[in-house]
């Protein structure tokens, strides 16, 4: 009698295959607790070691599915399987966490996972959480289905905010870095020094976020004093001002990037200092710092001014040119103070030629990021560069992680100079390089295999994806003109139409003949 019971139980189990059916058949489950246990969604379990090969096949299949769904033509590969769990859900649901990265292979190329291009990875890896379902009826991994997927850049995976020790060297370094930014934003004429770190927390977020609550004290050093260090500047009780600030400092140590993302401060000044500052003339009152528009006409004037000033200050033999203004802010002081961060590059013109920077072409050498401060006092016709601090930008090869002799890098550099491309961030440049390289691989493949006379290479669209390029194709309809010039209604004559008409009798259609080399009809 056991066999019939097992068969009937299996048939009932096959009928109760989904969570929805389980909810709709509560009475049946209550009457058959054995069936209830068999059909309830199972807990997540670690995948057994014996299933490692299966998990690898599922991972590769999931990666191929993602390639089929995306818009680009770049093939990806599974760099590492970070986690693998399974769950009984009307079959087996696999929960995979994969580390996936772009390769130099194209999706439309007929290759295997052993091909050399699959081992040449580019760009930042992504962490993908994928759910795949495989039924009991078909155990082949190639018949599994990707139910859901979520991918993020490896460094964008945000962690929990955790407490940090306020007296650690790293926290003090972050607080000291923020001091320069806070002193620049402060309206006080005195320099502030770090008095105490009240609270510190850290969080992994595309790098490291450091959350600080600090107490600052004003010193007896004016901002135009020669000495600004904490050791030299003391605290004067007569002019003491305290400030409590909440800060978020973000850092990417692998790219040597660091910036104050947020700052919020509350200030309480002493009555004597308040009296002293209230009687100052209007021209010496410090205003709040406000952002400037980078597309403003005055920004273009500032670029020309800085190009000449930085050229005069540099030791390079070549004329400098400000390529882009990354950010800019203004502040009313005893005049107008403009602070800006600019990208600077060498040109192919020597200083001795005394040419205008706009007449010169940019060079691939001497790229720098400069923080500058310009003071303008129109009433005395004064405009000067009061401060400039520059540091070298990593070379394109360093940013893209390739050799300086890489042929794709050289082609990409020629393309950038010819089309005068300017990418705002290193991440955008790396992405455009991957797209450019994929397009050039496709062009090389077409040049090799196509039998026509066309030659394929880098056009002005070479760093665009297929979907981006489509925005430049097709007929652009001018709706205004279309409405203004509607075609006239055709005049159909009242004539008799014959029952049949043969174009062969009119001599229009000729018999079939040998067309030779011509392939058209």
> Which tens digits make up the pLDDT trace of 365-424?
777 888 899 888 888 888 888 888 888 777 778 778 888 788 888 889 888 878 877 777
Q: Is residue 450 part of a domain?
A: no
Residues 166 and 99 in one domain: no
Is the CB of residue 93 less than 8 Å from the CB of residue 147? yes
CA distances from 499 to 43, 496, 502, 505 (A): 77, 9, 11, 15
Residues 307 and 255 in one domain: no
What integer best gives the mean pLDDT of the chain?
A: 75
> Mean pLDDT across the stretch 139-148?
75
CA distances from 10 to 3, 17, 216, 365 (A): 10, 11, 73, 73
Q: Over 394-448, what HEC string results?
A: CCHHHHHCCCCCCHHHHHHHHHHHHHCCCCCCHHHHHHHHHHHHHHHHHHHHHHH
pLDDT tens track for 353-364: 888 777 888 776
Lowest mean pLDDT segment, chosen from 27-36, 81-90, 295-304, 349-358: 27-36
Q: Is residue 442 part of a domain?
A: no
pTM beyond 0.85, yes or no: no
* 435 pLDDT higher than 90: yes
Residues 192 and 300 in one domain: no
CA angle at residue 407 from 401 to 365, to 5 degrees? 65
- From 339, 367, 393, the end of a domain falls on 393
CA distances from 505 to 225, 436, 502, 512 (A): 103, 57, 6, 15
Residues 60 and 140 in one domain: yes
- From 393, 428, 455, the end of a domain falls on 393
pLDDT: is 312 or 240 the higher one? 312
Is the CB of residue 336 less than 8 Å from the CB of residue 319? no
φ, ψ of residue 495 in degrees (nearest 5): -130, 165
pLDDT tens track for 479-518: 555 555 667 788 888 888 888 988 888 888 887 777 777 7
pLDDT at 438: 93
> Mean pLDDT across the stretch 135-155?
75
- From 133, 154, 175, the end of a domain falls on 154
Residues 220 and 125 in one domain: no
Q: Is residue 285 part of a domain?
A: no
Residues 59 and 76 in one domain: yes
pLDDT at 221: 76
CATH number at residue 336: 3.10.450.10
Res. 433 pLDDT band, cuts 50 70 90: very high
> Mean pLDDT across the stretch 425-440?
89
Residues 241 and 349 in one domain: no
Q: Is residue 449 part of a domain?
A: no
Q: Bridge partners of 194?
A: 216
Q: Is residue 451 part of a domain?
A: no
- How is the beta sheet containing 45-46 ordered, strand by strand? 45-46, 74-88, 92-106, 121-134, 145-153
Q: Is residue 328 part of a domain?
A: yes
Is the CB of residue 173 less than 8 Å from the CB of residue 188? no
Residues 182 and 242 in one domain: yes
Is the CB of residue 239 less than 8 Å from the CB of residue 218? yes
Q: How far apart are CA 123 and CA 401, in angstroms?
A: 8
Residues 364 and 271 in one domain: no
Residues 140 and 187 in one domain: no
pLDDT at 22: 38
Domain that residue 340 falls in: 290-393
Q: Is residue 505 part of a domain?
A: no
Exposure string of 470-497, with b = 16+ CB inside 10 Å and e = fewer, is eeeeeeeeeeeeeeeeeeeeeeeeeeee
Residues 188 and 219 in one domain: yes
Q: Is residue 261 part of a domain?
A: yes
Count of domains observed in the chain = 4
Residues 245 and 309 in one domain: no
CA distances from 253 to 167, 180, 209, 256, 376 (A): 20, 19, 12, 5, 36
């Amino acid at each position: 009698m056991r066999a019939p019971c097992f068969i009937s139980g299996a048939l009932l189990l096959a009928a109760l295959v989904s969570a929805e059916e389980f909810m709709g058949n509560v009475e049946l489950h209550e009457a058959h607790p054995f069936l209830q246990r068999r059909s309830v969604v199972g807990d997540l379990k670690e995948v057994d070691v014996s299933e490692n090969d299966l998990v690898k096949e599922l991972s590769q299949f999931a990666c191929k599915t993602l390639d089929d769904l995306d818009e680009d033509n770049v093939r990806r590969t599974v760099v590492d399987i970070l986690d693998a769990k399974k769950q009984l859900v009307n079959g087996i649901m696999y929960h995979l966490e994969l580390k996936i990265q772009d390769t130099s292979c194209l999706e439309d190329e007929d290759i295997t996972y052993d091909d050399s291009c699959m081992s040449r990875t580019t760009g930042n890896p992504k962490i993908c959480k994928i759910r795949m379902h495989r039924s009991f009826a078909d155990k082949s991994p190639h018949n599994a289905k990707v139910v859901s997927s979520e991918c993020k850049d490896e460094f964008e995976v945000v962690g929990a905010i955790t407490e940090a020790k306020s007296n650690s060297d790293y926290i003090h370094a972050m607080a000291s870095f923020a001091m320069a930014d806070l002193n620049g934003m402060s309206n006080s004429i005195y320099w502030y020094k770090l008095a105490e770190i009240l609270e510190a927390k850290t969080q992994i977020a595309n790098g490291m976020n450091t959350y600080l609550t600090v107490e600052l004290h004003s010193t007896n050093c004016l901002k135009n004093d020669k000495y600004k260090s904490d050791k030299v500047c003391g605290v004067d009780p007569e002019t003491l001002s305290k400030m409590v600030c909440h800060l978020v400092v973000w850092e990417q140590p692998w790219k040597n990037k660091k910036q104050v993302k947020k700052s919020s401060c509350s200030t309480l000044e002493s009555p004597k200092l308040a009296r002293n500052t209230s009687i100052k003339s209007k021209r010496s009152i410090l205003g709040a710092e406000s952002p400037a528009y980078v597309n403003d006409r005055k920004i273009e004037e500032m670029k020309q001014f800085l190009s000449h000033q930085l050229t005069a200050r540099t030791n390079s033999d070549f004329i400098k040119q400000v390529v882009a203004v990354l950010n800019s802010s203004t502040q009313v002081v005893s005049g107008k103070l403009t602070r800006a961060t600019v990208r600077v590059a060498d040109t192919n013109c020597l200083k001795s030629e005394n040419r205008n920077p706009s007449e010169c072409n940019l060079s691939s050498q001497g790229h720098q990021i400069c923080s500058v401060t310009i003071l303008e006092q129109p009433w005395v016709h004064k405009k000067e560069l009061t401060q400039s601090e520059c540091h070298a930008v990593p070379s394109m090869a360093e940013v893209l992680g390739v050799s300086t002799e890489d042929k794709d890098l050289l082609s990409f550099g020629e393309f950038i100079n010819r089309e005068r491309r300017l990418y705002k961030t290193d991440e955008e440049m790396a992405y455009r390089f991957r797209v450019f390289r994929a397009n050039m691989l496709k062009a090389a493949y077409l040049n090799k295999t196509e039998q026509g006379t066309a030659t394929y290479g880098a056009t002005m669209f070479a760093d665009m994806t297929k979907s981006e390029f489509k925005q430049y194709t097709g007929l652009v309809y001018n709706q205004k003109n279309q409405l203004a010039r509607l075609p006239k209604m055709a005049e159909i004559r009242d004539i008799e139409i014959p029952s049949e008409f043969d174009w062969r009798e009119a001599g229009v259609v000729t018999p079939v003949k040998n067309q030779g080399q011509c392939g058209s009809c």
